[in-house]
Every structure is written in C-alpha cells, then in structure tokens.
Structure 1
C-alpha cells in the first residue's frame, strides 16, 4: 500500500509538471510563430527594413515608421531572455540604425527612414528604444546599449523645461503639449541609467519628472490622462493603458531603489485602478502594444508583492487574442491587414508571460 501511494504521488506530480510544461511551451510556441510570420510577411527581403502592415496599399511609406520598431526591439529583447544565446535584437537594431539622424543640437532617431525622408524626432520613440537597450544592457553589459541610451537621454533633456512647471514635450520643436507618453518612459530611462551607473543626477531627474507627471496628469482614480496642452494647461483626458503602465512601473522601481513605502502604496493603487478601468468583460482595449507596455508595470510590481492578480488578466486577454484574433499566417490583429506593431507587442506579451510561468 505504501508503494502504491508513493507511485500515485509520483504519477500525479508528473501530470502536474507536464501540464505546467505544456502551458509554458504554448507561449513559447506563440512567440516563435509570430516571429516567423514577421520575417515572412513584414520584412523587406531587399533591405534591413520592415513594412508597416501586410497591405502595401495601406502603407503610407515604403517602409515602417520607427514606432513599430520600438515595439519589435523590446519583443526581441524578451525573446533573447527566453532563448539565451540567440541574437534576435541585432536585425532590429540594424533597421533602427537607418532612422538615426546626427543633426545638432541632439542626435537621435527620427520617426522614418533617414535615407527616404527627413521627418520629426519624437521623444517617446527614442525613449522606448532606450528602455529596450537598457533591458539588454542589464543582461549582457554590452557598452553600445549604454552609450546609445546616454545619447537618447541627452536628446530627452532637450525637451525638458520649466514651462507648465516641468515635464518633457512630446516631440522636438513642438511646444504645444507635454504628454504622459513622453514623461512616463522618460522616468524609466533615467531610472535605468541610475541603476546602471549609480549617478544620482539620473535619479533626481527621474523623481522630478515622476512628480510632475503625477501632479499634472494623473486622474483622481489613479490612471493617467494623455497630455497637458500649453500654454492653457488644459488636460486631454483620454486614457490609454501604456500611460498608466509606465507610471506604475516607475513607482515600483522607485520603491525598489529608495525603499520608500509611499512608492509601493502608489504602485498598488495605480495597479488596482488600472485593472478596474481597463479590463472590461474579460478583455483589455485592443491596442496590443499599449497593453504590452502596461504589462511591464504590473510585472515590476509583481516582482515585489508576488500578487498573481496582476498577471492573470493579461493571460486571459493574451489567450483570447490567440484564439480569436489570429489569421492563417499566425499574424494577430483585428483588421485584415496586420500591423508590425501588433506583432511586436504580442511577442513581448507572450515572451513575458512565458518568463513568469517559468518562475512559478
């Protein structure tokens, strides 16, 4: 009887292990399927560049804007996390390099391919790249990532001034708005540089931008509005998941750095507000990349308080996307034409969920 019970325990344990492994491998499989679909359907075979969507008639230019590559470079980083030793970031880095504009006063990446058109420099586009590069730097300590992030930081500071009490503009030479989407990630860039260098100027900058954004752009319930117009100081009250996500992540990281419990309490307040505000009828809003950025904030908090509630609703939404919003080519999205930004977003989400399942 004792042997029988032991065998039964082993059998049940193996079943549980197998079930966990199967769940884990599902997300890994989704990542690989979308990655292969990108290379087949959204990469220009004649260059290092990518397409905006799968429908040439819907594309404004021959190649993608920079923004979708901001999603894809983070996705590539997360792929390297779950597949150590692979070089998924390099092809995307090579594409991003084509957007680099070395014009004074602050070299940075413009929003379209430099060789094809001179366009605008957005602070947030550059910040998303810096965030991905610093995540990579944390893993592999390649100096190129730190150097590029410092360059982007200098560019970012060019958009920071005292108009409206502080904060960063949305894009270069446009002084009409300061947006959460350029301030939340600005905090994160400064925090990542502080963690890498221990230079306290980075931490001071991060806290200054964080405090300004919280004061001017947070809704009473805890989520974040889109932007503040200048000089009127009128608030544009649209709410998007990524804005709440960057400020949630900022609060969580500030807690890990300072151990000041006000940041943890704030992170948990924002997390509760974000779930209540955005997760309706079992689904998140249908901008996948905004949700990928929000997931980063919840993951940062989950690392601290281990509250699985912060993750399960992202799993539910991600599973629904795969089941209901995927075509025969394993490309995701609600429209017939499939967008590069959506593919990058879902690779990031699935790869992140894979990492979390592996750590259960």
Structure 2
C-alpha cells in the first residue's frame, strides 16, 4: 500500500511539473506566433515602418504612431533575453529612428513619422524607449543605447520645473498637466542611468521625481492617479495599471540601490493595493500594454521577496487572453481590427512570464 501511495504521489508531482513546464513552453510559442503575426499583418515592407491596426480604414495615418513602437521595442528586448543570439530589436529600432526630430534645444522622438508630418514630442513616449534601450544596454553594453538614453534624459529634464512643487509635464509645450505616466517612467530612466554610470545627479533626479509623484499623485490606498492639473493642482483621479506599475518598480529599484527598507515596505504596499484594485473577477483591465508595464513592477518585487502571488494573477490574465481574445492569425485583442500596441504588449508579457521561471 505504501509503495502504491509513493508511486501515485510521484506521478502526481510529475504531472504537475509537466503542466507547468508545458505552460512555460507555451509562452515561448505564443511569443513567436505574435512576432510572426506582426510581420505578416502589421509591418509595411516598403518603408520598414509599422501600421497602427490591421484595418486601414481605422488608421488615422499611413503608419503607426510612436506609442505602439514603445510597446514593441520592449517586447523585442524581452525576446532577445530569451534568444540572445537574435536581433529582434533592430527592425523596431530602425522604425523608431524615423520619428527622431533634431529640434533644439532638446532633440527627441516625436509621436509620428517625421518625413510624413511634424507633430508633438511626448515625454513619456521617449521615456519608454529609454527604458527599453537601457535594458538592452545592461545586456549588450552597446554604447548607442546609453547615448540615446542620455539624449532622452536631457529632453525629459527640459520638462521638469518647480510649478506645482516639481514633476515633469506630459508633453512638450503643454503646461496644463503633470502626469504619473511621464513621472513614473522618468524615475526609471534616471535610476537606470544611475546604475549604469554611478553619476549621483541621476539618483538625485530620480528621488526628487519619485517623492513629488508619491506626494501629489498617489491615492490613499496605494495606487496612483492619472494627473494633476495646473495651476489649480486639481487631481484627475482615473487609475491605470501602468501608473501604479512604474511607481512600484521605482520603489523596488530604490530599495535595491539604497537598501532603505522603507522603499521595500512601500513597494509591497503598492503591490497589494494594485492587485486588489485592478484584478477583478479573474481579469485585469482591458489594456494589455498598461498591464505589461505593471507586470514589470511586480516582477521586480518578486525578484526581491519571492512572493509568487505577484505573478500568478498575471499568468491567469495572460492565459485567458490567448484562449479567448485571439483570432485565426494569432493576433490578440477584443476588436475586429488588431492593434500593434496589443501585440507588442503581449509579446512582452509572455516573454517575461517565461523568464520568471529562472528567478532564483
């Protein structure tokens, strides 16, 4: 009887391990399917640019805004983590280069293709690119990523002033709001540059922006509001997953750098609040890329405290997307037309969930 129970338990454990291993293999497969689907359905072979959606009638311009490429470049970085010998970032980098505008005093990437239209420069669009490039720099030590990120840092500092006590505006030449989406990633850019260079100016900037954002834009429960209007300082209290995510990740990185436990305690508070606030009825809100950015913060915390709770609800949502929100072309999304930003976001999510298994 004992031998029977022992064999039964051994088989049960093996079956469970096999299921987990199969799921992780599935994530890698999902990444490749999405990558192939982007190239087949959302890339313009004539220009090396990308389309906003699969439906030309729904696209405002011939090519994508920069924002979807902010998602895709991070997804491409995560693909290279899984396959270091590949160059998944390079085609996306070539596309992003076509958004560069060398306008003094702060050159940066505008929100649409320069040769087709002169448009707006957003601080957050540029910051997302710098975050991905600094992740790539950490892996590859290629100076082009560091130099571009320093350029973006100079641009974002141009949007930092003392109006409202500090903080970065949302976009150039618009002094009406300061947003979590331009301050949270601003902290991350500065922290990544500090870690790469040990220049204390970057750490001071990060702490100043972090403290201002926490003071002015955090809800009492721990998640983050969207923006503060100027000069009234009236709060816009909409909550989005990515805003909580960048500030969560910032808190963990500050703990890693300073070893001040208050940052870890705060990160765990924000993480608990974020899950309670956003994860309802087994699903996250229906904006994949916002959730991808939030996942970055939870993974950063998981590396420190090894609490699997921070990962499992993302797995549940990601699995449901593949099962319920995917078309016959392996493109994901709830609408008939499929968006580039959603594909890039889910590449990042699946690739990140695949990587989590290697966190010791």
Q: What is the TM-score of this pair, normalised by structure 1?
A: 0.97
Question: Residue 95 of structure 2 aligns with which residue?
Answer: 95
C-alpha distance in structure 2 between counterparts of 1:13 and 1:321, whole Å: 27
Distance of aligned partners of 1:16 and 1:313 in 2 relative to their CA distance in 1, 3 Å threshold: closer
Distance of aligned partners of 1:48 and 1:276 in 2 relative to their CA distance in 1, 3 Å threshold: same
Aligned to 2:44, what secondary structure does the other structure show?
Answer: coil
Question: Residue 121 of structure 1 aligns with which residue?
Answer: 121
Q: For the aligned residues, what is the CA RMSD?
A: 1.8
Tell whether the 8 Å contact from 1:24 to 1:358 is kept in structure 2 after alignment: no
Tell whether the 8 Å contact from 1:242 to 1:293 is kept in structure 2 after alignment: yes
Tell whether the 8 Å contact from 2:127 to 2:152 is kept in structure 1 after alignment: yes
Within 5 A, what are the aligned runs for 1:158-173?
158-173=158-173
C-alpha distance in structure 2 between counterparts of 1:14 and 1:142, whole Å: 42
Aligned to 1:257, what secondary structure does the other structure show?
Answer: helix
C-alpha distance in structure 2 between counterparts of 1:79 and 1:238, whole Å: 32
C-alpha distance in structure 1 between counterparts of 2:256 and 2:83, whole Å: 27
Shift of 1:47: 1.2
Shift of 1:21: 2.6
Shift of 1:6: 10
Within 5 A, what are the aligned runs for 1:344-355?
344-355=344-355
Report which stretch shifted further, 15-24 or 296-305: 15-24
Q: What is the TM-score of this pair, normalised by structure 2?
A: 0.97
Within 5 A, what are the aligned runs for 1:99-248?
99-248=99-248
Question: Residue 72 of structure 2 aligns with which residue?
Answer: 72
C-alpha distance in structure 2 between counterparts of 1:242 and 1:125, whole Å: 13
C-alpha distance in structure 2 between counterparts of 1:315 and 1:23, whole Å: 10
Within 5 A, what are the aligned runs for 1:296-335?
296-335=296-335
Question: Residue 45 of structure 1 aligns with which residue?
Answer: 45
Aligned to 2:98, what secondary structure does the other structure show?
Answer: helix
Divergent runs of 4+, >6 A: 1-13
C-alpha distance in structure 1 between counterparts of 2:179 and 2:3, whole Å: 66
Map Cα deviations across residues 130-163 of structure 1 (whole Å, 9 max, x no partner): 0000000011100000000000000000000000
Aligned to 2:227, what secondary structure does the other structure show?
Answer: strand
Map Cα deviations across residues 16-47 of structure 1 (whole Å, 9 max, x no partner): 55433312110000000011000000000111
Shift of 1:357: 2.6
Shift of 1:15: 4.8
C-alpha distance in structure 2 between counterparts of 1:4 and 1:339, whole Å: 53
Unaligned runs of at least 5 residues, structure 1? none
